[in-house]
Chain A
């Protein structure tokens, strides 16, 4: 009761303390989002903006580069999340099984995460610069990759197998996935490791006594128990992958051709290279809606998890 009385003493405190946050978010986040909705219905003609309705959406959805970029994005996200989650899970299991030097391992393993995406892009680019990169020395060997060797940054995308869907991906896309996974791996490892440490030892031990093999106890006990953490990691990876554009910038620049255009890079390209802001706004909203759906999903899952605890 005392607490209630004292907190009520100054009813306006919360408002004043929240004010700076609310003002900043209104100006930097809410207003721009609303402006983008307006912008997506406009087109620049001559001197000013003209209302064109859903024309921007129609043109965007009808363009070949949009559907191609959707394909690239799907391939990028599937490859990058699968690679990161699988390796992250493995490394987390290893880290949990060792107490010796685990501090040193964690420190070293986490260095990639602290390096900027644009620097990571450059670091990986240095490895495959045509002719002079260290990996190019191996990959461009015609004996290994007939007929002419593989130059990651300039090799074109192979002909698609399924209609227009850009599969198999270009070598540059594969390399982009590896670079992105390399940087995201520490983050995923940490999330999964934190979850692994909450798996009660007694349960694993009793399973062992009941005759479960190691693989069985991972499959039937550990994985279900850390599933919420995996899902959180997955959503974070998808959000980061959808929105991160720095690595594409510095590693491939969208090329060769358009073979590493993912949606966020397409947005940049439509908006700032071609200066079609209306159409870019339409694309931005599509990306934002997909993002929101994912966040609502993750909220659902973490809430369910809290309730069951």
Chain B
């Protein structure tokens, strides 16, 4: 079987496969790479016609590495550093994106992910371990709820927000927004967590209970530690979903200082129609944390993704 011809063909096949995959990776990376390049250009190189990929041309040569005109103007305009005596670094960042919008996003994403994780774990545990009347109907109902499009519910939630704001002195946009986010991302999370609980054998809990553990004790000492990876992926998935979410905040948040980063980014677009380097820099600053998070927790993401897709 292993004649040299077949061996050669295999080698070629492998080479071709890898070549195509490298090509696919390039397609995946190229738009991002061009954005990074744009973010480091000067205004004068942005508004050139015809456009150039690298700002490295001289009147004599098309590409000269020593003549590259890289600039951090875009980032400076986003961060807007100002010298300050009291700050340990000697300057403070005054850009709205880093001072207001990203901290807001962090607050929304962390609290939503935490609440979703807790509620989904409790519900997922019940659906996985208890059988009661209406069990399946309730699970199907939770699935059906996932099918209501975001925008459909937003019509009502928008009106709800307006009337709460009018009639309720303690109303807070942030609490309402987090509550809405939890409601949106909870159903799919319940299904995902149930899947993870299903994979943990009941016998472990039973053994603990025979040894004299209470049901809740068995839950927290045996089941929860084993389900922790699953709960973590639900946390991560929700965190990223909220971080990347735009339309809900766009419609429900009214005050400037409560806007999350994606909303702030949309504002940047209208203020910087021609300053492409500023838009690009803002995009990079917002997307980079998620990319880094993904690189560190790749498997948790991929697992939750498949689990969520098949269930939802």
Please report the C-alpha to C-alpha distance between residue A168 and residue B52 in the assembled complex, in whole angstroms: 31
What is the interface of chain B mostly: helix, strand, loop, or mixed? helix
Given the contacts A98-B21, A124-B31, A127-B31, A114 and B156 also touching, CB distance less than 8 Å = no
Indicate whether B222 reaches chain A with its CB closer than 8 angstroms.
no
Q: How large is the interface on B (under 10, 10 to 19, 20 to 34, 35 or more residues)?
A: 35 or more
Check B156–A108 contact: CB distance below 8 A: no
The interface residues of chain B lying within 8 Å CB-to-CB of A242 are 149
Given the contacts A20-B119, A35-B159, A194 and B21 also touching, CB distance less than 8 Å = no
Check B246–A117 contact: CB distance below 8 A: yes
Indicate whether B286 reaches chain A with its CB closer than 8 angstroms.
yes
Check A122–B298 contact: CB distance below 8 A: no
Among B122, B209, B216, B247, contact of A245 (Cβ-Cβ < 8 Å): B247
> How far, in Å, is B60 (CB) from chain A's closest CB?
21
Instruction: Find the residue from B18, B48, B52 having the highest chain A CB count within 10 A.
Output: B18
Check A137–B152 contact: CB distance below 8 A: no
Among B21, B266, B306, contact of A191 (Cβ-Cβ < 8 Å): B306
> How far, in Å, is A105 (CB) from chain B's closest CB?
5
The chain A residue sitting closest to B145, CB to CB, is A29
Indicate whether B147 reaches chain A with its CB closer than 8 angstroms.
yes
Check A28–B151 contact: CB distance below 8 A: no
Indicate whether B206 reaches chain A with its CB closer than 8 angstroms.
yes
Indicate whether B66 reaches chain A with its CB closer than 8 angstroms.
no
Please report the C-alpha to C-alpha distance between residue A10 and residue B126 in the assembled complex, in whole angstroms: 12
Check A116–B186 contact: CB distance below 8 A: no
Please report the C-alpha to C-alpha distance between residue A239 and residue B179 in the assembled complex, in whole angstroms: 23
Check B153–A268 contact: CB distance below 8 A: no
1/0 contact string of A126-141 vs chain B (CB within 8 Å): 1101011110110000
1/0 contact string of A81-97 vs chain B (CB within 8 Å): 00000000001001101
Check A32–B206 contact: CB distance below 8 A: no
Among A117, A133, A245, contact of B244 (Cβ-Cβ < 8 Å): A117
Instruction: Find the residue from A129, A132, A136, A243 having the highest chain B CB count within 10 A.
Output: A132
The interface residues of chain B lying within 8 Å CB-to-CB of A105 are 21, 24-25
Among B126, B142, B149, contact of A25 (Cβ-Cβ < 8 Å): B142
Please report the C-alpha to C-alpha distance between residue A62 and residue B48 in the assembled complex, in whole angstroms: 47
Indicate whether A145 reaches chain B with its CB closer than 8 angstroms.
no
Check A284–B149 contact: CB distance below 8 A: yes
Of residues 10 to 50 in B, which have CB atoms within 8 Å of A's CB atoms? 13-14, 17-18, 20-21, 24-25, 27-29, 31-32, 34-35, 38, 46-50
Indicate whether A14 reaches chain B with its CB closer than 8 angstroms.
yes
Among A14, A24, A115, contact of B183 (Cβ-Cβ < 8 Å): A24
Indicate whether B305 reaches chain A with its CB closer than 8 angstroms.
yes
Name the segment of B86-94, B166-174, B225-233, B276-284 touching the other chain: B276-284
Check A116–B149 contact: CB distance below 8 A: no
Name the segment of B77-85, B95-103, B288-296 touching the other chain: B288-296
Check A9–B152 contact: CB distance below 8 A: no
Of residues 246 to 265 in B, which have CB atoms within 8 Å of A's CB atoms? 246-247, 251, 262, 265
Check B265–A118 contact: CB distance below 8 A: yes
Instruction: Find the residue from B17, B156, B184, B243 having the highest chain A CB count within 10 A.
Output: B156
The chain B residue sitting closest to A112, CB to CB, is B28
Check A129–B186 contact: CB distance below 8 A: no
Given the contacts A112-B28, A126-B280, A107 and B126 also touching, CB distance less than 8 Å = no
Please report the C-alpha to C-alpha distance between residue A146 and residue B9 in the assembled complex, in whole angstroms: 44
Indicate whether A246 reaches chain B with its CB closer than 8 angstroms.
yes
Given the contacts A18-B122, A116-B246, A132-B276, A137 and B155 also touching, CB distance less than 8 Å = no
Given the contacts A2-B206, A21-B190, A250-B269, A94 and B149 also touching, CB distance less than 8 Å = no
The interface residues of chain B lying within 8 Å CB-to-CB of A249 are 246-247, 266
The interface residues of chain A lying within 8 Å CB-to-CB of B150 are 243
Given the contacts A6-B209, A18-B123, A28-B184, A108 and B28 also touching, CB distance less than 8 Å = yes
The interface residues of chain A lying within 8 Å CB-to-CB of B283 are 119, 122-123
Check B21–A95 contact: CB distance below 8 A: yes
Check B153–A29 contact: CB distance below 8 A: yes
Instruction: Find the residue from A2, A32, A39, A288 having the highest chain B CB count within 10 A.
Output: A32
Indicate whether B65 reaches chain A with its CB closer than 8 angstroms.
no
The chain A residue sitting closest to B14, CB to CB, is A98
Of residues 182 to 209 in A, which have CB atoms within 8 Å of B's CB atoms? 182, 185-187, 190-191, 194
> How far, in Å, is B129 (CB) from chain A's closest CB?
7
Indicate whether B7 reaches chain A with its CB closer than 8 angstroms.
no
Name the segment of A53-61, A63-71, A72-80, A291-299 touching the other chain: A291-299
> How far, in Å, is B157 (CB) from chain A's closest CB?
6
Given the contacts A20-B119, A114-B240, A27 and B34 also touching, CB distance less than 8 Å = no
Among A7, A95, A109, A117, contact of B28 (Cβ-Cβ < 8 Å): A109
The interface residues of chain A lying within 8 Å CB-to-CB of B5 are none
Please report the C-alpha to C-alpha distance between residue A58 and residue B262 in the assembled complex, in whole angstroms: 36
Of residues 163 to 199 in B, which have CB atoms within 8 Å of A's CB atoms? 179-180, 182-184, 186-187, 190
Among B35, B202, B262, contact of A3 (Cβ-Cβ < 8 Å): B202
The interface residues of chain B lying within 8 Å CB-to-CB of A112 are 28, 32
Check B309–A187 contact: CB distance below 8 A: yes
The interface residues of chain A lying within 8 Å CB-to-CB of B107 are none
Q: A21-B142, A28-B184, A29-B145 are in contact. List 11 more A-B contacts (CB 8 A).
A: A17-B122, A32-B148, A35-B159, A105-B21, A106-B298, A114-B290, A118-B266, A119-B244, A131-B51, A246-B246, A268-B151
Question: Nearest 5 A-B pairs (CB), nearest first?
Answer: A28-B183, A32-B156, A116-B244, A284-B152, A35-B156
6 contacts between A and B (CB under 8 A): A29-B184, A32-B154, A35-B160, A114-B294, A115-B287, A236-B309
